[in-house]
Every structure is written in structure tokens, then in C-alpha cells.
A and B are shown apart, each in its own frame.
Chain A
Amino acid sequence: MDGLVLRKLGRRFGSVDAVIDLDLHIKPGEFVSLLGPSGCGKTTTLRMIAGFIDPTAGSIELDGKLLSAPSGSVPPEKRGMSMIFQSYAIWPNMTVAQNVGFGLKLRNLSREEVNKRVGEILEVVRMSHLAERYPAELSGGQQQRVALARAVVIRPAVLLLDEPLSNLDANLREEMRFEIKRMHDEFKITSVYVTHDQSEAMVTSDRIAVMNNGRLEQLDSPYALYTRPKTRFVASFIGRTNFISGRRAADVVEFADFQVPVAAMGDGVAASGPITASIRPQAMKLSGEPGTNGAINLQGSVKQSAFLGETWDYVFQAKDGGTEFKVVAPPADVFEVGAPTWLAIDPRQIVPIVD
């Protein structure tokens, strides 16, 4: 199978399972993020792909060639990959050009070839004018660019990124996100990106693998992940959401304050029994009068409000002490706390999840 394949990958540290039963197929040229809270096993997974950690179960293959297995692994230096580290790991004893050219020299390329390719890549990351500087003379963002150039210049089989932006300040981080995306689009290198920041993952990735407690929760495109989360963890980790519980009865799902035809909710509704669903705060609309066109309409009132500049955050409560919903509204939709309002819910955006 082409690309990077993790099969039933597992890693135990003592009695703790850092990664359990992880199956992941990353296609050639694809950009996949491993996203999750700290301790979810994403860095362990990345370091197993790099070869710095041996798995205790399962295997890793690249283009059909076995790289890692509990019985032994190909060492990192023989994998033809490259990696961008959290600390950048720019060697302070070498200039920018020497840093970038190091991997090429290890490949025994001629001096002219090394210089040519270093020059090209420094052009791409807009660092040509700083080629002879030492790392101590560079800003954090510039060091990050050197790390990026150094990793990309060898045309690695797989590019691994270990929270590369976590040490940058907010503005620079945003800029570097697009830089990484641009490099990927230009060179089409198969990439695995570890992060705990969902917006980083969303900007850069073709697909995102959400991990929790060593397990893969869901692997999907950023859009699908947000709009169709499959588990409670994913729904709450990616963005904010409202959870509501209900029960399926024949062709409808009954929630506390309303009921929805199964047909209107889309896929994944259990055949019977209790159901938990997620509704994003953006999937609902507050208004002064009941809405129309097929939406579910709930009568109630605004309980809390907070103005965040770009949006309003409201808490809406259905009448007679019913369910509370977090609702996001544009700045123009102003409601007083206590004012009677209507909440319109798009039934297609009520997503059944695994609890």
C-alpha cells in the first residue's frame, strides 16, 4: 500500500498505554494532523513514525516497506524523513546555510549541488539575505524558517512536524501556519503534523486525526470533523457545542423540549434506545419571533449574554425551565437578558454522537 501506514500501532511505557491500536493510512502527498490534548499519545505516535521510539505493538510501513515493529526498527537516519522540532533544534554552531545544507551533505551531494539547492530553498522561505548569519542572531520566526528549509530541502519521504509553532507569539504563529501550508502545496510532501491547537490543524491539514487517551477518536477532513463529530470528545474538543440527550421512538427522536424526524437528522442515528446529539452554537439562530422553513422552533428566553466583539455569546433557555443552549449570534443581533425569544434549530445540524 502506498503512503504511510500505521497498523494496530501501540506503545506501552511501563503499565501505561501511550498509544493503543492505532490504524492510520496517510496517502502520498497528504497533510495529516494529529490533534489532541497533552498526553493523548500524538507526540509518541510521531516519534514512532520518526523512529525515535519503537512500538510495542503493531507496525509502521512506508510505501509497502516495513519501518517499525516490536521486533526492531529502522533507525531514524535510514528512513529518509525529516522533522521540525518544537525547539526548532537549529544547530547554534553552524550558519543558516550550513544548517540547511547539512542533510544534503550527508547525502554526499557535490558542493555545487548543495549550494544550489540551499540557495533555492532559502529563496523560498525568504531567508537568502541571512544565509551567513548564526542562529543566535535570528529571531524566533526566522529560526523557524530555517528549520522549515532544513527539513524540506532534502525532499523527505515524510515531513514530521512536532508542534512547530508552539514557541512563537500569536501573530507569527498565524503567518507561519500559512507558510507551512504554502510549502506543502509547493512540494507536495507527505506530512504529519502534531498539535494541540485546533485552528493550526484546521488551516494546514487535508485530514485531522483526533486522538484521546492513546486512541484515535476520528479521522476526517476539518470540515467534516467540525460539522459531523462522531464522539463526545471530538465534538467538545473541536470548537464548542451543546449536548442534548433524547430517545429514538420509531421514526422520530424525542428530546426534552422537541422532537425531530429521523430523516431530517442525517446519518448515524441509532436504531433504538437513548441518543446523544451535538448541536454547534452556530447551528442555531435567536430571533424575536418564530422562524419558518422547516427549522425547529423553541420558545424561551435569554439567560446570559457576553459580547466578544466579533460575536455575541448567549445562553438561551427553553420555556418552563427547559434545556439551556449556548448560542452564537452576529453583533447586530442584540437581545436583553430575560427577553422572551425564539430559537430556531437546523435539524440537519443535530449530529448524533457516540457517548
Chain B
Amino acid sequence: MTSLPSATATWKDDEISSRTRVPWYQRLQPANLLWLFLAAILVILIIAPMWTLIVSSFTDAKTGGWTLNNYIEAYGKERHITALTNTLKMGAAVVVLKLLFGVPLAWACTRTDMPGKNFVRYGVFGAFIMPPYLGGVGWILLAGPNTGWINRAWYWLTGASEPLVNIFTFWGLVLVTSIGGFFLVFVFVSTAFEMINSEMEDAANVLGAGPIKTAMKITFPLVMPAIIGSALLSFLGAIALYGVPALISIPARFPVVVIQLSEFFSFPLRVEVAAAYAIPLLLITASLLGLQRLVLRRKGYTAITGKGGERRLVKLGRWRWVMFGYCFFVVALSVLMPLIVLLMAAFAKSWTTGFSLSNLTMRNFYYVLFEHSSSQKALITSVSIGIAAATVAILLALCIAYIVQRRLLPFSNVLAFLAVSPYVIPGIILAIGFYAAYALPPVALYGTYTILVLAYVTRFLPIAFTTSAAGVRAIHTEMEEAVRILGGGRLTAIRHVVAPLLKRTLAGGWLLIFVPAAQELSTAIFLVGPSTRVVSVVLLDLSEEGEMEVLAALGTLLLMIIVAVVAVGFRYLGRDFMLRRS
């Protein structure tokens, strides 16, 4: 036993070859089949709709042959080009306004001794909960040219005949779009502010820089990536948003891309033209996100990810209340004012009459819940589709994140790329892709719950994936190897170890999907059928019919359901889960 191993190694080659094959049934792991299945699902959810979108943009509707006519029809009219440039103008203006709202609030809440920080944080959170189109309705009630409350107060006070403010203008559109999305800027930028170590600022102070110089040269450059990132996302969110333009840009005679798209989708239905018209939007989105990655990769901002050191708050002195005043103004514009008028309208017999006891009623709620033809069903549909989409997206994302993090398959990075790729697809374009791929025979899913759930799952897969991947990454592989060596398969490991450890993370991700899914409009607008109308679609119809009181009641009910779900989440998960950046 003490001789060198090379001396004892006398195996003959034929002796080895007779037993070098492990029988296939011993090698079989049922999990392998699941992975193939998942790859197929991703193809169905992402590749096929996007591929169909591109193909159909080059397809002649009548003959089925190749053509460029769709592009000619889509861009041949001056009106269509104007819609495109209008959209870009609007997007740029929205970015500026969102940054003006989001960045100061983020700074005030993280780096100063401003009073009422929690109030501001809850206000921003309220802006996340409130669907953009409800904010839009609120602002129509506030600043409609004739009957808007602000204008009526103005007429009454001054006797003027011209309105003070008019929401049906370019700037009205910009304002309402901005209040519905600036929370994203807030979350990104305040996270970045929280990462900055006071010692970095101290180092500049010690070298002789005053507070203002330090802020300009050190602090803001360090949060710049977050500002740029959130500015890009704001732009993309603004140009793809459907609800607010649907409410405002038509009366404002300010055509934008999404409205033009929906026109292609109304009678006569021209899906191929819509596809051709959607391609530039897709290209803008993809290239901007590519640009963002390029910009952010250059500097080593990893330095600010370390927590170390204490953060000292900037003492604002008597400017504290000025700062709070500004924050209050933003919260009032974005949440308080629209919410209050919405609630008042919901409880009013006639919203134009103003506030009085005789005008109070519960009738609107009764009507919405029990008499209106579609609103009760729409509430149920929205909530159940939200639940279904959030659940399916989380489960699917968990499986993919697991494969990717554990490198179970060759090319698993392709799966990861696919799972986050819907991020660059605006909801309305996703809807066109789904329509083109699955609405018509032979699949014929138009007007079913299935197509809605599938589209929502695709839309929210990136959120689900990033949440799940972070969770899986935090679980040491040896936890699972311990299961396997003791005799459990991979699926046993997932069920008994991975899933229980991920419970909280997954529940947080689920809520982050449920809230926007229950309100989703852009994805739903072209996919709902007569029997699958969701709340957002019904709300839009009600606004066209001018039934503002009923609309307000239905919107209030939707908000109440979402707030209730989120409240349960708060209890279970702790208060901070949604304000963390995933």
C-alpha cells in the first residue's frame, strides 16, 4: 500500500470499456424535461409574438405575400408622422418634469433634515398605487376648461370668461403623464443617494470644497447614473403609455403614436399597418436601453455600492419648510388633488354641482356593483387576471432564474436574456404582437382570458425574473447539494429548501406584479373581448360616455382592492419591500 499509485495502476483498457456506460435509466432526471418545456414557453410568450409582429409588418393583408405597402401606408400620411414627432416631444417634456418632481424629493427624503419625510414617502407610494388614467380623470375633473373645479373657482373669483388652466393641451398631457410615473425616478435616485457614503463628501470638504461645490462635484455626479437610468425609463414609459393620451390627447388635438395605433386597430382593422407603425417605437426603446447600458458601464460606480460609513443629513435650516412645501406641492399635484376630486365625484350625484350634503350619495357604488352591465364583472376579471398573471409570472421566472443561476443547461444565459427582454417591449406593442400571433385562427384566442393572462405574464416577466434571480442567488448551492446527496432529486430540493427560503422574496415580487397588473391598460386594450373587459378598459369607456361619477366610483373600488392587497403585503413582508429597488 505504500508504493506509488502509478506502479499499481495496471487496469487493462478492455476491462474498462466493458463498463464505461452507466445505464440510461440510472442517468435519467425528470427535471431535464421541465427545462425544455420552459424554453418552449418562452418562445410562445416572447419570440413568437415579436416575430409575428415583424413578419406581419411586411405581409400583405390580402395576398399574404411580402410587401412594403404597410410601411408606406403607416408613414405615408403627414398626420401619422406628426404623431411620431409629437410623441418624442411629449416624451422629452415628461422626462424633464419627472426629474423635477422625483430628484428633489429623493434628495430631500434621503439626505436632508426636512420634516415630514414619511408623509412624502407615502405620497410617492400613493403615486405608484394610483393608475395613471385615474390621475388623468382626476385632473380632467380639476382642470377641464369649462367645468373643472379650478376653473370654476377662477370664474367665480374673478368673473373671467377664459379658463385659468386647461388640461386638454400639450402641457396638460405632459403634467398628467408625469405625475403617473415620477415615483420610478424617486425610487431609483433615492436608492443611489442612500448608497453614498458621507465620507466621500467629507473628503471633498477637507480638501477645501464648500457644501455647494461638494454637491455639484461629488454628490450629484455619483447619483448621475441613477438619474440617467430613470430618465430613460421615464421616456420609454411616457411614449408607450396609452391611458392618459386616450383621455387627453384626442380632445387636445395632439395626436400621438399610441392613439394612432389604436386607430389602426379600429374599423377597418389593419393589424399589419399597426405592426409597421409600431416597429420604430420598438427600435427607439431597444436602442435607448442599449445606450443606457453603454453609458453606465463606463465609470466604475461600483464604489458607491458599499454601505460603510455613516450618512449625515444636510441641515437645511429655515429652508426645511420651503423644501417640505415643494414636496407637498408635488404630492398634492400627483396624488392628493386628483384623489380627493375622484372620491368626491364618486360620492356625488352630480360632480359639477360641487360639494354639499344634498349632493352626497352611495348610488354610484351601488350602480357600479349591481346594475352596470360590465363593471362588476370587470372588477372580478381585473383582480383574477392580476392574481393569475402574477402567480404564473413568478413561478415561471423562478424556474428560469433557477436554471440560469445554477447553470443547469448550456446556453442558460439565453433563457435569462429572453426573460428580461419584454422590458424593452412597450405594453401596447406587446399587445399587437399577441394579437397578430394568437388572436386569429388557428389559435383563435381573441377575447379569451388566456390571451390576457399570457400577455400580462410576458409584460411582467422581467420584474418577476429579476426578483427571483436575486433570491436564488442568495441561496448557497450547497443547500441543495445537501438534499441531493441525501437522496432527493432537484425537484425535491426546490420544494423543500429553495421554495421555503424564497417565500418572502417571491411574495414581494408577486405584489410588485399584482399592483400594476390589476390596473394594466396598454396591454389589455387590443386583446380584451366583449366578455373579458378589465376595469381599465371599462373606465375608459365610461369616460367617453361622460359618466364621471360612475367612473370615479369604479376607480375608487379598484383602488380599494389594490390598497387592501398591498396592506396585507405590508403586514406580512414589512413596510419597505416596495420602495426597495429590485
A complexed with B: yes
Interface residues of A (CB under 8 A from B): 7-8, 21-24, 50-52, 58-59, 61, 66-83, 85-89, 91-94, 102-103, 106-107, 150-151, 154, 160, 207, 216, 218-221, 224, 228, 230
Q: How far is the CB of B498 from chain A (nearest CB, A)?
A: 10
B8 CB-CB contact with A under 8 Å: yes
Q: How far is the CB of A24 from chain B (nearest CB, A)?
A: 7
Interface residues of B (CB under 8 A from A): 1-2, 4-6, 8-9, 11, 16, 19-22, 24, 26-27, 29, 476, 478-479, 481-489, 492, 496-497, 500-501
Known contacts A78-B26, A93-B497: A218-B482 contact under CB 8 Å? no
Besides A8-B9, A69-B22, A106-B488, 6 other CB < 8 A contacts?
A22-B5, A50-B485, A66-B19, A69-B19, A102-B486, A219-B1
Question: Do residues A89 and B476 form an inter-chain contact, with CB atoms below 8 A?
Answer: yes
Known contacts A59-B19, A154-B487, A207-B1: A74-B26 contact under CB 8 Å? yes
Q: Which residues of B contact A66 (CB under 8 A)?
A: 19-22
Question: Do residues A160 and B485 form an inter-chain contact, with CB atoms below 8 A?
Answer: yes
Question: Do residues B485 and A79 form an inter-chain contact, with CB atoms below 8 A?
Answer: yes
Question: Do residues A83 and B2 form an inter-chain contact, with CB atoms below 8 A?
Answer: no
Known contacts A71-B20, A71-B21, A102-B496: A83-B482 contact under CB 8 Å? yes
Q: Which of B20, B21, B486 contacts A103 (CB 8 A)?
A: B486
Q: Which residues of B contact A7 (CB under 8 A)?
A: 11, 16
12 interchain pairs, CB-CB under 8 A: A8-B16, A22-B5, A50-B481, A68-B22, A70-B20, A72-B27, A73-B27, A81-B485, A82-B485, A83-B481, A91-B482, A224-B2
Q: Which residues of A contact B497 (CB under 8 A)?
A: 91, 93
Question: Do residues B479 and A219 form an inter-chain contact, with CB atoms below 8 A?
Answer: no
Known contacts A69-B21, A102-B496: A82-B481 contact under CB 8 Å? no
Compute how far the CA of A250 lies from the CA of B437 in the bound complex, rounded to whole angstroms. 90
The number of inter-chain residue pairs (CB within 8 angstroms) is 122
Question: Do residues A154 and B22 form an inter-chain contact, with CB atoms below 8 A?
Answer: no
Q: How far is the CB of B476 from chain A (nearest CB, A)?
A: 5
Q: How far is the CB of B266 from chain A (nearest CB, A)?
A: 53
Q: Which residues of B contact A224 (CB under 8 A)?
A: 2
Compute how far the CA of A263 lies from the CA of B47 in the bound complex, rounded to whole angstroms. 79
Q: Which residues of A contact B486 (CB under 8 A)?
A: 77, 82, 102-103, 106, 150-151, 154
Q: Select from chain A the residue with minimum beta-carbon distance to B502.
A: A93
- Name A's interface SS: mixed
Most B-side CB within 10 Å, residue of A22, A52, A61, A70: A52
Compute how far the CA of A69 lies from the CA of B27 in the bound complex, rounded to whole angstroms. 11
Q: Which residues of A contact B485 (CB under 8 A)?
A: 50-51, 76-77, 79, 81-83, 160
Q: How far is the CB of B519 from chain A (nearest CB, A)?
A: 34
Compute how far the CA of A207 lies from the CA of B1 in the bound complex, rounded to whole angstroms. 10
Which 7 pairs of residues, A with B, have the shortest CB-CB distance?
A103-B486, A89-B478, A85-B478, A93-B500, A89-B482, A76-B484, A83-B485
Known contacts A75-B484, A77-B488: A24-B5 contact under CB 8 Å? yes
Question: Do residues B478 and A87 form an inter-chain contact, with CB atoms below 8 A?
Answer: yes
Q: Which residues of A contact B500 (CB under 8 A)?
A: 93
Q: Which residues of A contact B492 (CB under 8 A)?
A: 77, 106
Compute how far the CA of A216 lies from the CA of B8 in the bound complex, rounded to whole angstroms. 12
Compute how far the CA of A174 lies from the CA of B27 in the bound complex, rounded to whole angstroms. 40
Compute how far the CA of A228 lies from the CA of B9 in the bound complex, rounded to whole angstroms. 21
Known contacts A91-B482, A219-B5, A230-B4: A103-B487 contact under CB 8 Å? yes
Question: Do residues B489 and A93 form an inter-chain contact, with CB atoms below 8 A?
Answer: no
Compute how far the CA of A52 lies from the CA of B484 in the bound complex, rounded to whole angstroms. 9
Q: Which residues of A contact B2 (CB under 8 A)?
A: 220-221, 224, 228
Q: Which residues of A contact B20 (CB under 8 A)?
A: 59, 66, 69-71
Q: Select from chain A the residue with minimum beta-carbon distance to B21.
A: A71
Q: Which residues of B contact A151 (CB under 8 A)?
A: 486
Known contacts A102-B483, A106-B487, A219-B5: A73-B22 contact under CB 8 Å? yes
Known contacts A50-B485, A89-B478: A75-B1 contact under CB 8 Å? no
Q: Which of A67, A69, A77, A221 contacts B489 (CB 8 A)?
A: A77
Q: Which residues of A contact B11 (CB under 8 A)?
A: 7-8, 23
Q: How far is the CB of B23 from chain A (nearest CB, A)?
A: 9
Q: Which residues of B contact A59 (CB under 8 A)?
A: 16, 19-20
Q: How far is the CB of A33 from chain B (nearest CB, A)?
A: 15
